[in-house]
């Protein structure tokens, strides 16, 4: 498993040289959120497709 510092280095290598600090912060934020979701899925903390559809239907009715 990579350290946080290694993850950031890898990310910086992928970004264009003219990336702003805001761009870098955004990409770090997105990577954190993706990892958080993957970790939750590994722990089984997910909802079923049926539940997602039920919740979406409620939102779309409004």
**pLDDT at res. 60:** 86
Buried/exposed code over 39-57 (b: 16+ C-beta within 10 A; e: otherwise)? eeeeeeeeeeeeeeeeeee
Q: Are 15 and 24 within 8 A, CB to CB?
A: yes
Domain ranges, ordered by start, for the chain: 4-61
pLDDT, one tens digit per residue, over 20-57 is: 999 999 999 999 999 999 999 999 999 999 999 999 99
Q: Is the pLDDT of residue 62 over 80?
A: no
- CA angle, 26 as apex, 42 and 37 as ends, to 5°? 10
pTM of the model: 0.73
Q: Are 15 and 27 within 8 A, CB to CB?
A: yes
């Amino acid at each position: 498993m990579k350290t946080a510092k290694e993850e950031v280095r890898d990310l910086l290598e992928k970004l264009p040289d003219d990336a702003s600090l805001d761009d870098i912060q955004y990409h770090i934020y997105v990577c954190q959120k993706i990892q958080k979701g993957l970790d939750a899925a590994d722990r089984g903390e997910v909802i079923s497709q049926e539940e997602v559809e039920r919740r979406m239907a409620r939102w779309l009715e409004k």
